[in-house]
Amino acid sequence: MPINDEVPTGEPAKVFTGIRDVPIYAGESSTGNRLPGGPYRSAELIAIGMIMLPALWWFRTHQDAGFTVLGAAAVLALAVTVILRMLLPKRRPSLAARASFALALILPKHACAAAPQTRSGRGTQR
């Protein structure tokens, strides 16, 4: 006896339900969707793009040149990414730290005006 799985919708199309064997990652970051060494910050992605995009263009337009330019660009992009990860801060300063930086910039530096120590005639300090 055939099972009728049709759901009437008022349209001539049929709606099929129950398909569960296809994994769908909508809005999620699965392990297959990440670049190696990531996550990358925007400065790192911009640097990688500025190095690799011209290298890929060169590789596609000069096909008989070999993989030298592409390999050198990959090594350079890796080196720049490592340098940026060492130099850039992990996170932004807090609002309190920014306020203290602004105050130190705006307010004048205090000069230390200490009175010179005087000695009495006997060599003792007052």
Domain boundaries, the chain: 36-89
Question: Average pLDDT of 17-33?
Answer: 58
The pLDDT confidence band at residue 3, using thresholds 50, 70 and 90, is low
Higher per-residue confidence, 120 vs 75: 75
User: Are 59 and 65 a contacting pair, CB within 8 Å?
Assistant: yes
The pLDDT value given to residue 125: 58
Q: Which of 85, 20, 103, 100 is nearest to 48 (CA)?
A: 85
Report the alpha-carbon angle 22-23-26, nearest 5. Answer: 125
Question: Average pLDDT of 9-22?
Answer: 62
Kindly report the number of other CB atoms within 10 A of residue 73's CB atom. 19
Model pTM score: 0.48
| Whole-number average pLDDT of the chain | 76
The pLDDT value given to residue 101: 85
User: Are 7 and 15 a contacting pair, CB within 8 Å?
Assistant: yes
Higher per-residue confidence, 35 vs 56: 56
Q: What are the tens digits of pLDDT across the range 51-96?
A: 999 999 998 898 787 788 889 999 999 999 989 888 887 777 778 8
The pLDDT value given to residue 41: 83
User: Cα separations (Å) of 13 from 10, 106, 112?
Assistant: 9, 70, 86
Q: What percent of the chain has pLDDT over 90?
A: 18
DSSP annotation of 121: T
The pLDDT value given to residue 72: 93
The structure tokens listed for 6 are: 């049709």
